[in-house]
Structure 1
Amino acid sequence: MTTESSDDDPTGNVLRRLSDAAEHVSGICFKTGPPRRVGAELEWTTHRAGLPTAHLRVTDLSRALGPYTPANLGNAAPRALPGGGTVTLEPGGQLEISSAPADSLAALYAAVTVDQEFVADLLATGGLVLGDRGLDPYRPPVRILDTPRYAAMQHAFDRTGSVAGRTMMCSTAGLQVCLDAGTAARLPQRWAAVHDLGPPLLAAFANSSGHAGGDTGWASGRMATWLGIDARRSGEVPLTADPTDAWTRYVLEAPVLCVRRNGHWDTPDGVTFAEWIGGALPRPPTVDDLDYHISTLFPPVRPRGYLEVRYLDAQPGTEWIAPVAVLCALLADDTVIDKARDLAGPAAGRWQEAARHGLADPATGACAADLIDLACRHLDRTGLPGPVRDLVTGIADRRLHAGALRKDQYR
């Protein structure tokens, strides 16, 4: 990569050409090889026990978490959780456990179960509890974390006149699944598969119809908020024969959300990263700026070397294992992937319909039922012990049954 040094960046990481930025993005987005590892990032809204409508303070969370308080709350040396995960906090006080990568789904389930129970116990000492929905059903969005990044994000979203951005920042809780990208030969199919599976799995595990004491009118109000912000930041990456090229274009054509500097990090509205390279902002961007820009993009599936699946709502209690196991079973091998893509085909791209109507959307609901049946027939491929596979099947059957009832009402 060709770089030039400047007074702004003595390390020599300044980007002067689009081709250099594209080279960097293409070099980090997909790390290929046989798929083996799996990880998860579990978010929850946090509440005062017995008074879930009360907004929390940062000190409420930091006191309860103690040495496990994350760095963005001022802890210089946050301690890892017993299962190997780490804690972070989102702008509205949502708590996230990021697992360590696991060599099997069974190992992931064991580690996250330990960490989830440990964090719940920590919060209980402060009279706090984890929520069980993908969108805060009790409170309107209020930002409690005051950082330059979050201040710039809120400013950028608020100037659009929509509440979706602030709601996304402060009220949503998702379940993210992290999967190896797979071999270079099969990367396009695996990348396409996790997108094709999105609307049916979103619908099957939608869990966020209420917000701030009201009904959103959406099965997944959480996804509705993501669909309500700039599609250049949160929309699906176009599916093409070359995922690397598609992602590179997405990154360069996305608006810059913030520029790190002393004071405010706000940027002019609508300036893309490509335009920043072209001189649209006072100083040229660096490679570090490009990496940071990527961290402000939130498509349903984001490449981070691995595949970060972002379209699932948070699940109640330990039920997170059900959508994760279904997804992993559907990616068990090339034959299952191809079959799953065929079954998901009629619902491909139906993000709006899946988010609004859930399984009551006829095309999406039918695909979800077929995919869950396929997944349950391959749960043994996940390595989960029998009782956990039975738990997954029971949760999936219950979701499909509830979806069938909603479909009758939808008719």
Structure 2
Amino acid sequence: MSLQNSADIENMCSRVWIKPIKGNRAGIEKMGLEMEMHAFDSKTLAPIGTENSKLNIQTLLKRIGEIAPDAKLKYDEATGLITTVFLKSGGNFSAEPGGQVEYSSDPYEKLSDLSENVADSLKLLEKASAGELFFLSHGTNPIAADDQPLLLPKERYKIMTRYFNSAPYLRGIDMMRHSATVQANVDIFGDENWEDAVNLTLVLIPLTSKLFANSKYFKNKKSQFYSERQEIWANMDPSRSGIPANLPFAENIECEYAIWGKKAFVFFVDGLPIEEQPLYGELTFEHWLKNGYKGTKPTVESWETHLGTLFPHLRLRDFLEIRHIDAQPFEHTLAPIAFFSAVLKSRKVRSQVWEIIKSENIDLKNLFHSQEDYSKVHFPLLDFASSVLEDLKEKEGVQSLKAYKKFVEQKNDYWQAENALNFVKKNNTLFPSEEFLKHLK
């Protein structure tokens, strides 16, 4: 179905991806995670897929598909490359452009079930790697070279590479090939609950960015920033990243998100060859809608695809996709998911979180433009989240947050290393499943 004019995008608020999350789903609210990690040859420590690495990402994905019962493989139509391995047990493995291995879970009602699923899936990854890979969960790849190649050259990643190379003063290539996150996905049902949860999440993002920082080593150097990954994402593409300027406390959140989305640059137009795709700054969705582009007009499917190419800190889907968190050490991966599932749990809980924020005299009006260090609110928020999970008898969640609080106190010690290579040697593991469960047993 073709879109006719700009007003159609405002109408899309009630149809594609945005309005449906406002109370049109029913059932039990659940949460899930997406975790990205770096992999290195266990003998040479070369990043997976590079010259001195025995395994490449295609071989690893193929092995997972072979050993996982009744797994299904997804292939890139244009190149024939394996892109995703869907597990019968729930969740899937895939790969990011720079060879980052990603695991995406199914959603679960209980953190205990989520943690069991993640641990079992990581065991599959360990079995597939057969001792040939070390794994590290860190917000940036500490030892990948500046010219880290495109290690999963599927068509969409080639298009993104061309787009970001057309703006070399931005950090799109670093985002694609060097960064890693753990992402919390949280269900919120009901219109009023959803609006409150969106606004609270938007406020919590700048308050917790430092709390969840874990990317101190980058391109064989120690970063000057508290989070190199967050610096990358802040300078990746201002039209599609960060927090949309008018979104917090908007009168109509879903339409404000749509208006922001139509002003973002387009990098994928279905049906055009790679060399004909728009470059950075060339085409906004709004311009495409009004004027067409190289004989094409956008459709409803084009709008859906475009929304999926936006990278805000909070992506609005049929759940809240919280994306600002650096990849954590494996033993702390559950903590941010436990945190956000707790503080967004109910209107009563959220009202108490709002009170904690107010009690710290945080200036919400200037929050999204401030460079202030909000560490003063970190422990009150962690402690409150722990108490919520304790009431819910979510033992794994409570343990993860208590362990994370200790980690925050010792984070600078954790980051100490003679150089980036030594940091990787000190913190890599053959057995991410065991590390993941370290504080949960």
Given the two structures, how large is their TM-score scaled by the length of structure 1? 0.85
Q: Does 1:319 align with 2:332?
A: yes
C-alpha separation between the residues in 2 aligned to 1:201 and 1:224?
Answer: 15
Deviation at residue 329 of structure 1 after TM alignment: 1.5
Post-superposition Cα deviations, 1:218-244, rounded to whole Å, max 9, x if no partner, equal 121111111002222002022112211
Match of 1:89 among 75, 84, 95: 95
Q: Does 1:256 align with 2:266?
A: yes
Give 3-state SS (helix, strand or coil) of 1:44's partner.
strand
The 1:143–1:379 alpha-carbon spacing in structure 2 relative to 1, beyond 3 Å, is same
Letter in 2 for 1:273: F
In the TM superposition, what are the counterparts of 1:346-385 in structure 2 within 5 Å?
346=362, 362=373, 364-385=374-395
Post-superposition Cα deviations, 1:185-215, rounded to whole Å, max 9, x if no partner, equal 2222110111111123221121101101112
Q: Does 1:107 align with 2:113?
A: yes
Give 3-state SS (helix, strand or coil) of 1:308's partner.
strand
Match of 2:217 among 210, 216, 230: 210
Deviation at residue 122 of structure 1 after TM alignment: 1.4
The 1:335–1:296 alpha-carbon spacing in structure 2 relative to 1, beyond 3 Å, is same
The 1:228–1:374 alpha-carbon spacing in structure 2 relative to 1, beyond 3 Å, is same
Post-superposition Cα deviations, 1:149-198, rounded to whole Å, max 9, x if no partner, equal 21221222122222511000011111111111331122221101111111
Deviation at residue 114 of structure 1 after TM alignment: 1.1
Post-superposition Cα deviations, 1:311-343, rounded to whole Å, max 9, x if no partner, equal 111111232111111111112221221222343
Give 3-state SS (helix, strand or coil) of 2:86's partner.
coil
Deviation at residue 246 of structure 1 after TM alignment: 1.2
Q: Is the 8 A contact 2:41 2:47 kept in 1?
A: yes
- Match in the other structure for 2:134: 129
Letter in 1 for 2:94: T
C-alpha separation between the residues in 2 aligned to 1:305 and 1:394?
Answer: 31
The 1:344–1:130 alpha-carbon spacing in structure 2 relative to 1, beyond 3 Å, is farther
Count of paired positions: 385
C-alpha separation between the residues in 1 aligned to 2:269 and 2:333?
Answer: 35
- Match in the other structure for 1:14: 2
Give 3-state SS (helix, strand or coil) of 1:313's partner.
coil
C-alpha separation between the residues in 2 aligned to 1:56 and 1:96?
Answer: 15
- Match in the other structure for 2:432: none
C-alpha separation between the residues in 1 aligned to 2:96 and 2:140?
Answer: 13
Give 3-state SS (helix, strand or coil) of 2:210's partner.
helix
Larger helix fraction of residues: 1
In the TM superposition, what are the counterparts of 1:2-151 in structure 2 within 5 Å?
13-27=1-15, 28-29=17-18, 30-33=20-23, 36-54=29-47, 56=49, 60-66=56-62, 68=65, 70-72=74-76, 74=80, 79-81=85-87, 83-125=89-131, 127-139=132-144, 140=146, 141-151=148-158
C-alpha separation between the residues in 1 aligned to 2:94 and 2:124?
Answer: 15
The 1:191–1:388 alpha-carbon spacing in structure 2 relative to 1, beyond 3 Å, is closer
Q: Is the 8 A contact 1:83 1:112 kept in 2?
A: no
Which range moves more in the overlay, 397-406 or 200-209?
Answer: 397-406
Deviation at residue 401 of structure 1 after TM alignment: 5.1
Letter in 2 for 1:60: N
Q: Is the 8 A contact 1:196 1:344 kept in 2?
A: no
Q: Is the 8 A contact 2:57 2:95 kept in 1?
A: no
Deviation at residue 82 of structure 1 after TM alignment: 5.7
Q: Is the 8 A contact 1:41 1:98 kept in 2?
A: yes
The 1:333–1:124 alpha-carbon spacing in structure 2 relative to 1, beyond 3 Å, is same
The 1:347–1:86 alpha-carbon spacing in structure 2 relative to 1, beyond 3 Å, is farther
Deviation at residue 24 of structure 1 after TM alignment: 2.8
Q: Is the 8 A contact 2:36 2:327 kept in 1?
A: yes
The 1:277–1:338 alpha-carbon spacing in structure 2 relative to 1, beyond 3 Å, is same
Letter in 1 for 2:133: L
C-alpha separation between the residues in 1 aligned to 2:264 and 2:101?
Answer: 27
- Match in the other structure for 1:219: 226
Deviation at residue 403 of structure 1 after TM alignment: 7.0
Which range moves more in the overlay, 265-274 or 56-65?
Answer: 56-65
Q: Is the 8 A contact 1:208 1:219 kept in 2?
A: yes
In the TM superposition, what are the counterparts of 1:149-298 in structure 2 within 5 Å?
149-162=156-169, 164-237=171-244, 238-239=247-248, 240-264=250-274, 266-270=277-281, 271-282=283-294, 283-298=296-311
Q: Is the 8 A contact 1:347 1:367 kept in 2?
A: no
Structure 1: gaps of 5 or more residues: 1-12, 355-360, 407-411
Q: Is the 8 A contact 2:61 2:82 kept in 1?
A: no
Q: Is the 8 A contact 1:204 1:400 kept in 2?
A: no
C-alpha separation between the residues in 2 aligned to 1:293 and 1:77?
Answer: 20
Q: Is the 8 A contact 1:113 1:318 kept in 2?
A: no
Q: Is the 8 A contact 1:41 1:177 kept in 2?
A: yes
After superposition, the CA RMSD in angstroms is: 2.8
Q: Is the 8 A contact 2:35 2:183 kept in 1?
A: yes
Post-superposition Cα deviations, 1:55-81, rounded to whole Å, max 9, x if no partner, equal 515962222332536534846796533
Which range moves more in the overlay, 279-288 or 340-349?
Answer: 340-349
Which range moves more in the overlay, 342-351 or 331-340?
Answer: 342-351
The 1:54–1:101 alpha-carbon spacing in structure 2 relative to 1, beyond 3 Å, is closer
Structure 2: gaps of 5 or more residues: 66-72, 416-441
Post-superposition Cα deviations, 1:267-292, rounded to whole Å, max 9, x if no partner, equal 14421101101114121111111111
C-alpha separation between the residues in 2 aligned to 1:122 and 1:146?
Answer: 22
Give 3-state SS (helix, strand or coil) of 1:182's partner.
coil
Which range moves more in the overlay, 198-207 or 222-231?
Answer: 198-207
Given the two structures, how large is their TM-score scaled by the length of structure 2? 0.80
Letter in 2 for 1:278: K
- Match in the other structure for 1:3: none
C-alpha separation between the residues in 2 aligned to 1:218 and 1:347?
Answer: 24
C-alpha separation between the residues in 2 aligned to 1:183 and 1:40?
Answer: 22
C-alpha separation between the residues in 1 aligned to 2:8 and 2:390?
Answer: 45
Which range moves more in the overlay, 83-92 or 73-82?
Answer: 73-82
C-alpha separation between the residues in 2 aligned to 1:227 and 1:97?
Answer: 24
Deviation at residue 296 of structure 1 after TM alignment: 0.8
